[in-house]
Homo-oligomer: A and B are copies of this chain.
Amino acid sequence: MKALVYHGPGAKSWEDVPDPELKDDTDAIVQVDATTICGTDLHILKGDTPEVVAGRILGHEAVGTVTQVGPAVKSVAVGERVLVSCISACGRCRFCREGRFGQCLGGGGWILGYMIDGTQAEYVRVPFADTSTYKVPANVSDEEILMLADILPTGYEVGVLNGKVSPGDTVAVVGAGPVGLSAISGAKMYSPSHVIAIDLADARLEAAKGFGADLTVNNGREDAVAYVKGLTEGLGADVAIEAVGVPQSFELCTELVRPGGRVANIGVHGKPATLHLESLWIRDVTITTGLVDTYSTPTLLSLVAAHQIDANRFVTHHFPLAEMEAAYDTFGRAAETGAVKVVLTP
């Protein structure tokens, strides 16, 4: 089959590789009907994650059709259409028992396109198929469902739920890329008073309005802290969500938040940030970090199926699988191309 193979920092190609085979009795092989590219894939290509070895097939998001299952697979059958989640779960370990699948100690967690071969390919081997895939209803398109593989649960769990967004809250979202937009969309489900998108790119801020941000701040030109304090009687936002992954945006979040407020970090960081405990120690602030667990995926799937979440809105570009490299190029130049999510299909 063909797949997008990582050849070390800066190097990748869409090339022939052997078809995946069942290894464990809980595996399934899934034919990829739709896949996409994540900002994390760009991080890997930059060499930020040296644990990814050359030869690895990238990608951790797919919708596809099951072509083979191991003998211990119970609830997934050949021919079924499934969502392949970015998180695999053994279903048995301490963390899986408590729904913290992202931290699976039994061989799961985030492994696809990272520790094992991934979904940017014609076929993918999915471990722990019973607890790592989700059947999809007939009336929903592949590309809507694909948004549930990573960005929708990530924005919702790591941003909105960790941040405890509540009705009437003022929510500041720093970074209006795919995950930030997902957090905005998820925050709106809790009827906040205001969702303020903060970004350096006007095009992204414009996109944020479409996802439900009622206010926007270009923090290249404007003072976001002053803006948010002006809106909140000088107190600050109830929740600040970091969706960029650089120290400055995290530090901004800790300045944006009111006494008693919550900072929810979603961004993938490569460097430490400065935590201003000399002012924060007295302010009752809660800061959370997290990898998505996908415990919310069934709920979000039903909301997408009922069209209560408009997943289509994330998809800005389409490519055939064979044009994977062009898709990377478009996604890699998102600021220019306006790409949010690019979808690749056979």
Contacts from A to B (Cβ < 8 Å): 25-26, 71-72, 74-75, 91-92, 94-100, 102-103, 106, 110, 130-131, 167-168, 189-191, 193, 245, 247, 250, 259-260, 265, 267-278, 280-291, 293, 295, 298-300, 302-303, 306, 308
Contact A74 to B95, CB < 8 A, known contacts A269-B281, A277-B289: no
Copies in the complex: 4
From B97, B265, B281, contact of A265 by CB (8 A): B281
Question: Could you tell me if B259 and A103 are in contact, using CB atoms closer than 8 angstroms?
Answer: yes
* Complex CA distance for A131 and B95, rounded to whole angstroms: 13
B residues in contact with A308, CB < 8 Å: 191, 193
B residues in contact with A26, CB < 8 Å: 72
What are some 8 contacts across the A-B interface (CB < 8 A)? A98-B99, A99-B99, A100-B284, A191-B308, A267-B281, A284-B289, A285-B288, A286-B288
**Which of A189, A281, A302 has the most B CB atoms < 10 Å from its CB?**
A281
* Complex CA distance for A302 and B168, rounded to whole angstroms: 7
From B130, B260, B302, contact of A92 by CB (8 A): B130
* Complex CA distance for A272 and B280, rounded to whole angstroms: 9
Taking A103-B284, A269-B278, A274-B275 as given, write out 11 further A-B residue pairs in contact, using a Cβ cutoff of 8 Å, ordered by the A residue number.
Answer: A75-B106, A91-B96, A92-B130, A95-B260, A97-B131, A103-B260, A189-B191, A191-B308, A269-B280, A272-B274, A283-B289
